[in-house]
Every structure is written in C-alpha cells, then in structure tokens.
A and B are shown apart, each in its own frame.
Chain A
Amino acid sequence: MSKQLGFLHNSEKCVGCRGCEIACKNEYQIEATPQWRKVFQLHEDDFSLPTRMFFSMACNHCAHPECLRVCPVKAYTKREDGIVIHDPNRCIGCRLCTMACPYDRPQINPAKKKVEKCNLCYQRIDQGEKPACVTACIPGALELVEINDSLDQKTGILKTLPGLPSPKITSPSIRFIGPKQGKQIRRD
C-alpha cells in the first residue's frame, strides 16, 4: 500500500447539521435506512462541562479492516490508496462484517438484503475530486487527508474521541480535532 487516505474531523467546527449525511445519500441515492455516514453527538458525561459536540463518521477505511478479515466471500478489498471497497456483487448479506466492525459502519440494506458502505467516493477521488461529504460540509469540519506520521505528530490531532472503540482494534483511518471547551458562566 502506497498511502492511506482517510478523514480528519474537527468537532470544534462540526455543528451537527447533518449536511454530510444527506450529501452522501444524494450522491448514491441511498434509501432511508442505511446510513453510510452518520453524525453522532458526543456523550456529555465524558466531559467536565456540558458540551454540544458532534462527530461525523462513515467507514473509517481502517489499516486493519475487520470487515475484510471476516468476509467469507471476499467482497472487501483494500486499494493501494488505502480505501476499503465493498463489492455488492459478491456480498451475500451474511452480516458478519456488520458484527465485526467496531464502528457499526457497514450497513445492511433491508430491501436488497446486502451490506453497503462508504467507499470514500473513490470514483470522485480518481477524478481528482473530493468526497461528496467533504464537499458539502458548510463549516469545513470534514477533510480528506493522508493518514501518516507527520499528521499524527501535529498538535491537537487525536486518534480517538471519548466513547469510541479503541483504535488499536482496526487502526481506523480517521483523525479528530477534539472539542475545546470555552468558559461557561452558568446560574445552575
């Protein structure tokens, strides 16, 4: 593998508008139920003060993808640029990958009885474009990045957020800029 593409998500800038979710659905005409990309709110209990922070997550195109490892029909492949591709033609809908993924991102499509997931808009990337979700993000909270040591050495780049599974399981190709909490003057 020559490189590893992935996402950089800035929780400080993400306002939880869910534009990325809809942009993804629009790009692929996904039915209502499967959500390749989903915006989650961070659990407030994990912080000292109330927080209204979100993160947006699709397939993390892990360095060690569990979906790929468990798939009995080799529906998953990993490209040279690190993108994990799911091939619906091979998929038999056994759901092993949905159970194996710590992030619950392969989604079963109940109509097709097959799994589907984010393929990091590889067809757009191959044409030099950015993924639909990144293009749609109004506050610029979601970026396409190359996951490498120089990124990880930058200050403020986190490998995980409170409440997420340990990144040691699959080495997900997502990095975070976590919430910075301002001063709160409250009367409760």
Chain B
Amino acid sequence: MEFHQNICPRNCYDTCSIISTTHNGVLISVEGNPAHEYTLGKLCPKALDDVKKVYSPQRIRYPMRQQVRYSGFWERISWDEALTLIAEKILNLEETYGTTLPLALNKYSGNFGILHNAMEGLFTGIGATTRAIGSPCWSAGVEAQTLDFGTFFCSDPLDMSKAKLIWLWGVNPAWTAVHQMPIIFDAIDHGAKVVCFDTHFSATAARAHRYVKVCPGTDGLLALGFAKVLLEEGLIDPNLGSYTFGHEEFIHYIETEISLDHCSEITGVPISTIRNLAIEYGQTHPACIWAGFGLQRYTNGGQTLRAIDALGALAGHLGEEGGGVQYAQFETWRFSGAIQDPFHPINSSSNADQASVDNLTLNQKQTDRLLNINQFAEEAFNCTDPPVKMLWISGRNPLSQDGNLQQWKKLISQLDLIVVSDLFHSKSSEAADLFLPITTHYEHWDLNSSYWHYWVGVNEPAIPPVGESRSDLQIAWDVSSKLNKLKPGSCAFPISGDEKETLLRELGPPMLDILGIKKAEDLLNGPVRAKYPRTAWENRTFATPSRRYEFFSSRASDAHLSPLPIFIPPLNSSIDAPLRLLTPHHHSTINSQVYATGTANPDYVLHLAPELAQRYDLAVGDRAQIWNESGLLEVVIQPILGISNDVVIVFQEQVEGPLTDMGQLTLGARGFALNETFVNLRKL
C-alpha cells in the first residue's frame, strides 16, 4: 500500500488536505490529512466519495466526438484525431479572419488547481483570443473589501474560536464550509454567542443562539441601522481618527440619512432587535462578523459588504484577535503565473521544451478580447469583428450555471467548434462537438491554495490517468505540439514538459517568501501554512491609498461609485414575477458538481413557506412551474418553515440575473446578481 498527498480542488472554503491510499496502482481510499490544522483528518461526503468518482462508470475515458449537437450520439476517437480537429480549426480560423480572436475560452473553477491555468497559457500562446473574465461568485464583495481595506484579507479561520460574539451573516457553513463548524462550536463552548442573519432559516441558523431573518438584499441597510444605534449609544471606537479615513463623513451620512424606522420597515427586523443586537455588538470584544457570498449577489451587493465592513470598523472590531469582518482572501495565490504566460521570464530560463517563438505572428502583440463571464453568451454573440467561432469550455458548466440560456443557444448556433474538457458529460457537453476526458486530482500534479484558510500545498498523482484521460496541462502541451507540427511557430506554449517541474516554477520568490520556505521543492513534503498573522489587519495599517481603513474611498468615486457605503435598494418584484428566487448551495453539491452516492433527485425542488404554498393551492409533492421572461422550470413543491412569503428557494439551479454593482475594478468584470431573480409560480 502506498500513500499520497492530495488536495481537494473544489471551489469550496475548506480546500482540504487529503491522504489517498493506493494498492497495486488502484486508488482504494481517501482520508483527511490529520497534520492539516483545518482539515484535521476529516473530509466532507463530497471528497469521501472520490474513489467512486474516479472509477465511476459514467466517467468519460476517451476523446469523443458528437457529429450532431444534442444528439447524444458520441463516437470514440483517438487523441490524434481530436487534436488535429482542434488545431486545424484554429489555424483555419486564423487564416480566414487574419486573427485568432474568433477562438474563445470560457474557464472557471471546476478545478481550482493552479496547473489548470495551462488553458490560459495555451490560448495566450496561440495569440490574441476571446476570454471570459471576472467571477460568477464573489466579485462585488471582493471589490468592497478592496476599497475598504486595500486588499481582501481575512483572519485565519481558527481565529474565530477566540470570538465572544460571532455574527454569521449570509453564510451557511453547516452546508458550505463544514470544517468551520467545529471552530464555531468551540467558541460556543467557551461562552461565545452566535447570531445568524439570513434570508431563510438554514442548518447554520438552527445552531445559532439567535436567528434574524432579513429581507433579501437589505443587509447593507441593516448594517447601517446597527451603525446608527452605535452612534446613538456612544459605542463607536474613540480611536477611529488614528487608523481610519473619512469616519466623520460616514457618521454624518448615518446621522442624516439613516432612520431606524425606515431600516426596520425595509429589512423586516424589529427596531428593538436592531437596537439590542447593535448594543451587544458594540459592547462585546472580540466580535467577529463572517459575511458570506450570498449577500453580495445582488445589484447592491458591493454596497452591502462595504456597509458591513464600516459597521465593524465603527465598533472598533477591525484588527481585533477573534474579531474583524471576514469575507475571504486571495493573498496565498501569488503564484508566478509562468504557466499562464509562455513569454514569462521564468519560462525562458527553464529547460522546458519551448516551442519556437521566433516566428510569432503579430497576433501575440494584440490584446485579448475580454468578456464578462456573467454575460459571456450575450457578449460573445455580439462580437462581430471578428465573430466568435470556436469555444473551449474548461472547468465550467455554463449551460447549467449561467443566467441566460437563450443567449447561449444563440451563441452555440453560430459556433463552428465547441470543445468541452471535463470528467463527466454535462448540460454543456450536450451542445459540444468534442469531449476531451481530463484527469482527476488523483491523476495529475497540481498546486492548491484556499481562499479561506492559509494553507498551500502540492497535489501529487496517486494513480496513472484513468482510461485515456489527460491533464489540462498535458492537453495544452498536446494542442501546442499539434499546432506547431501543422504550422511551425503557430503557438508559443511549450509542446511538452514535466508536470512537477511546471508546478515548481509557479512557486516564485514571492510565494516562497509568503510560505517561509527556502526552495519550491520544500512544499513537496506537505502542505504549508503561509506566514501571515492569524488576525487580519492586527496592527491596523491598511493597504488602501491612505494606509487607513477607508470609510470614504476616492477609488470608489473614481469608479463612479459612492465614496461612502450607502444603501441602494435591491430590485423589486413585479406583478409578472412576484417571487424572489434564491438558489443557495446545497450540502451535496458544488454548483453543478455532484457526488455519485448522493440521493439524486430527478426533479428541481421548490421550497416555499406553507402559507405561500396554500395561496397558490399547492401541497407537498405537487408539480408546478416557475417562470420569468428568460425561461421556465418545472418543479416539485416542498413547503418548509422558516422562509418568507415573498421568497422561493431552489438549491443551486440555473437562473437568469442582472449584474452586481462592484467587481469591475478588482476582477475586471462585475459579478452575477444571482439573488435578484424574480419568478412567477403556477400549479401544473
């Protein structure tokens, strides 16, 4: 029996460290790494099911071709055939249009491993191409925290165990960050009080001392209401002047613009509750707020997070051990980026088998065409000069997860070639021409960071690739090799290489410094915690232009946003679509990724308040339809307690939605205001 170090690459807070066991080259078990202080030897059911996932009969093991889209008639082809089809199409498009811009890449977080960025590297090596940029997930919040603090940085998750008061705001760790729950329970055992704010009564809310139901999209106003009480009660940090910027302007805004009556009416939270909670928050030190991703998926999501940040600052909780306002971090992702950029200096000094870059066309000097990932189909369809003709979908399932499926249908009809690289068939592969089978994290080298804890580690292959699957990196080399064979100099990405060497090159001097290791190879021994302090902003020196916490942000006003955090109402329902549809994560899935043993439900389940169900003459198990102008969905009715009468919930399914207010500055594209989706409901 052999043991291997792996890291769960799912887009999840926990990014667990895994020990896998193999016997005669077969993966037989996976367990949490006991040496990892966040994983603590335990895995969630999604990861525990990995052995079945790796060897699942549904897993695609060979390159496949579908002659007629949506037909489901897939034929096995060789890698050489697949690569030739791809390379010939790329060269043909380049010849026809005189540029490689008709070639588009839509990639995100199906596997968050760094070596998967080989796809970006391949596309950069080919020339100027069309890219999906931004994030469907967290953009508005990232930008809000960047405006306030200068960068987004959270305390170590273990820091939360020291809190005396924990506010879980729009976050459901019981379902989306299970390893945080024992830390919260520890805090409770040490006397901490936990308050949970959410739009619906979640499994986390059930374990809090107090649950406060907030009208969707009004969390920012609630935070401003709390701030008002802090002012009235004289509970603001007397030292604000020494480490914050613009607190007088913010206080003036609160005093003149925010009334508790209005706040209570809009948020649905009684004034007495607002007052009691605010006093408790102002008086208790340390007090920690954990703001989730869900509360910023609104048209006012960035303002909401800025208001919550400002509340934390006003009460003096920033930089406090066990306190602060936690969202996420991206500081442990400072990899060299050599894999994304074939022209990176690290690559020229390496001994990788570099393609000849002498004959580079002018294309490489052109810039990529960047499309917002949240409006990708629409923007790609509207590209005319030149049009998008070939699409590569990697690490994504946009036909399940994206907003506007009608736009996708239009885009698909104008594409010459759609390539999907994945483990399993998906909604997106139904529309594809080519399916390339990729390896799981048990079959390739990789490098992983978390956006919540501070551990970074190497993922080593435990078994050879299943079937003919190949890693994204190998596929990128192979495509480059084929391109260069057909037309020498047509792609600057390496044509072959070594996965392990490639990953070590991602650990440049800044990462070695962050991790406190001397050489990249040291990380092969096991995951390492970055040498950041356990408490974010502990010395209250910030990364903003003023080096202070910025209540007033001139970078915000430069971007045509309010310089102060303000309340902007969310979108309202209408007569045509009176119900707000929320689509939070389910404990058994990461977006459209499921685990095999899960109790698969053939139907979308619509959760709604019993009273609302009655109003629509619906009982448990009834079939119904929700619809709006962008689509309809058949659902099965499940009344549950703890939801308001203006909200319905389908856990993680596709919906249509507008954009968030922030995200443009820090991530290049505004986020997806997923929770601003409204539907109508009828019985079938």
Question: Is B42 a contact of A52 with CB atoms below 8 Å?
Answer: no
Q: Give the chain B neighbours of A22 by CB distance below 8 A.
A: 45, 48-49, 595, 597
Q: Give the chain A neighbours of B604 by CB distance below 8 A.
A: none
**Which 9 A-B residue pairs are closest in the complex by CB-CB distance?**
A50-B641, A15-B174, A187-B268, A50-B642, A52-B206, A22-B48, A22-B45, A52-B203, A139-B181
Complex alpha-carbon distance, A145 and B609, angstroms: 39
**Contact digits for B310-332, partner A, Cβ 8 Å, 1 yes 0 no:** 00000000000000000000000
Q: List 25 A-B contacts (CB under 8 A).
A: A13-B181, A15-B175, A15-B181, A18-B588, A19-B43, A19-B48, A21-B597, A23-B48, A49-B641, A50-B640, A52-B203, A52-B642, A54-B203, A136-B43, A138-B179, A182-B206, A182-B210, A183-B210, A183-B211, A184-B213, A184-B642, A186-B644, A187-B268, A188-B644, A188-B645
Question: Is A179 a contact of B597 with CB atoms below 8 Å?
Answer: no
A12 within 8 A of B: yes
Q: Give the chain B neighbours of A185 by CB distance below 8 A.
A: 210-213, 269-270, 273
Question: Is B202 a contact of A52 with CB atoms below 8 Å?
Answer: yes
Complex alpha-carbon distance, A186 and B609, angstroms: 12
**Contact digits for B630-663, partner A, Cβ 8 Å, 1 yes 0 no:** 0000000000111111000000000000000000
A133 to chain B, nearest CB (A): 11
Q: Give the chain A neighbours of B595 by CB distance below 8 A.
A: 22
Question: Is A182 a contact of B182 with CB atoms below 8 Å?
Answer: no
**Contact digits for A12-56, partner B, Cβ 8 Å, 1 yes 0 no:** 110111110111011000001000000000001000011111100
Question: Is A19 a contact of B206 with CB atoms below 8 Å?
Answer: no
Assuming A185-B212, A186-B644, A187-B213, what are 14 further A-B pairs, CB within 8 angstroms? A16-B174, A17-B587, A19-B178, A21-B45, A22-B595, A25-B597, A50-B640, A54-B203, A138-B44, A138-B182, A139-B185, A182-B207, A186-B642, A188-B611
Q: Give the chain A neighbours of B512 by CB distance below 8 A.
A: none
A137 within 8 A of B: yes
A140 within 8 A of B: yes
Q: Give the chain A neighbours of B45 by CB distance below 8 A.
A: 17-19, 21-22
Q: Give the chain B neighbours of A184 by CB distance below 8 A.
A: 201, 205, 210-211, 213, 642
B215 within 8 A of A: yes
Checking B174, B208, B213 against A182 with a beta-carbon cut-off of 8 angstroms, the contacting residue is B208
Complex alpha-carbon distance, A188 and B203, angstroms: 19
Q: Which of B6-56 contact A (CB under 8 A)?
A: 29, 41-45, 48-49, 51
Query: What number of A-B contacts does a CB cutoff of 8 Å give?
Result: 121
Checking B182, B209, B644 against A139 with a beta-carbon cut-off of 8 angstroms, the contacting residue is B182
Closest to B595 in A: A22
- Known contacts A22-B49, A182-B209, A184-B201; decide if A32 and B44 are in contact (CB<8 Å): no
Question: Is A53 a contact of B206 with CB atoms below 8 Å?
Answer: yes
Complex alpha-carbon distance, A53 and B641, angstroms: 13
Q: Give the chain B neighbours of A52 by CB distance below 8 A.
A: 174, 201-203, 205-206, 642
Q: Which of A128-187 contact B (CB under 8 A)?
A: 135-140, 179, 181-187
Q: Give the chain A neighbours of B641 by CB distance below 8 A.
A: 44, 49-50
Checking A15, A17, A140 against B207 with a beta-carbon cut-off of 8 angstroms, the contacting residue is A15
Q: Give the chain B neighbours of A32 by CB distance below 8 A.
A: 597
Closest to A136 in B: B42
Q: Give the chain A neighbours of B175 by CB distance below 8 A.
A: 15, 17
Complex alpha-carbon distance, A1 and B107, angstroms: 61
Question: Is B640 a contact of A139 with CB atoms below 8 Å?
Answer: no
- Please count how many residues in chain A sit with their CB below 8 Å of the partner chain's CB atoms: 35
**Contact digits for B525-568, partner A, Cβ 8 Å, 1 yes 0 no:** 00000000000000000000000000000000000000000000
Checking A12, A135, A138, A187 against B178 with a beta-carbon cut-off of 8 angstroms, the contacting residue is A138
Residue with the highest number of chain A CB atoms closer than 10 Å, among B29, B203, B273:
B203
- Known contacts A17-B44, A186-B642; decide if A179 and B181 are in contact (CB<8 Å): no
Q: Give the chain A neighbours of B43 by CB distance below 8 A.
A: 19, 136, 138
Q: Give the chain B neighbours of A186 by CB distance below 8 A.
A: 201, 211, 213, 642, 644
Complex alpha-carbon distance, A21 and B202, angstroms: 21
Checking A21, A53, A182 against B211 with a beta-carbon cut-off of 8 angstroms, the contacting residue is A182
B212 to chain A, nearest CB (A): 5
- Please count how many residues in chain B sit with their CB below 8 Å of the partner chain's CB atoms: 46
B496 to chain A, nearest CB (A): 37
Question: Is A16 a contact of B587 with CB atoms below 8 Å?
Answer: yes
**Contact digits for B590-609, partner A, Cβ 8 Å, 1 yes 0 no:** 00000101000000000001
Complex alpha-carbon distance, A153 and B659, angstroms: 57
Complex alpha-carbon distance, A51 and B587, angstroms: 17
Complex alpha-carbon distance, A49 and B640, angstroms: 12
Q: Give the chain B neighbours of A179 by CB distance below 8 A.
A: 206
Q: Which of B169-191 contact A (CB under 8 A)?
A: 174-175, 178-179, 181-182, 185
Q: Give the chain B neighbours of A12 by CB distance below 8 A.
A: 207
- Known contacts A15-B174, A22-B45, A182-B208; decide if A138 and B640 are in contact (CB<8 Å): no
Question: Is A187 a contact of B644 with CB atoms below 8 Å?
Answer: yes
Complex alpha-carbon distance, A179 and B205, angstroms: 12
Complex alpha-carbon distance, A18 and B178, angstroms: 11
Question: Is B206 a contact of A51 with CB atoms below 8 Å?
Answer: yes
B199 to chain A, nearest CB (A): 11
Closest to B29 in A: A26
Complex alpha-carbon distance, A181 and B175, angstroms: 19
A17 to chain B, nearest CB (A): 5
Question: Is B587 a contact of A187 with CB atoms below 8 Å?
Answer: no
Q: Which of A68-87 contact B (CB under 8 A)?
A: none
Question: Is A26 a contact of B609 with CB atoms below 8 Å?
Answer: no
Complex alpha-carbon distance, A144 and B268, angstroms: 44
Complex alpha-carbon distance, A183 and B194, angstroms: 11
A83 to chain B, nearest CB (A): 23
A28 to chain B, nearest CB (A): 12
Complex alpha-carbon distance, A179 and B269, angstroms: 25
B193 to chain A, nearest CB (A): 10
Complex alpha-carbon distance, A135 and B206, angstroms: 24
Closest to A41 in B: B203
B675 to chain A, nearest CB (A): 17
Complex alpha-carbon distance, A98 and B644, angstroms: 41
Q: Give the chain B neighbours of A25 by CB distance below 8 A.
A: 597
A161 to chain B, nearest CB (A): 15
Q: Give the chain A neighbours of B204 by CB distance below 8 A.
A: 15
Complex alpha-carbon distance, A25 and B181, angstroms: 24
Closest to B268 in A: A187
Complex alpha-carbon distance, A57 and B641, angstroms: 24
Q: Give the chain A neighbours of B642 by CB distance below 8 A.
A: 50, 52, 184, 186
Closest to B215 in A: A187
Complex alpha-carbon distance, A44 and B639, angstroms: 11
Question: Is A137 a contact of B42 with CB atoms below 8 Å?
Answer: yes
Complex alpha-carbon distance, A179 and B207, angstroms: 8
Complex alpha-carbon distance, A49 and B609, angstroms: 14
Residue with the highest number of chain B CB atoms closer than 10 Å, among A16, A17, A52, A179:
A52
Complex alpha-carbon distance, A171 and B213, angstroms: 41
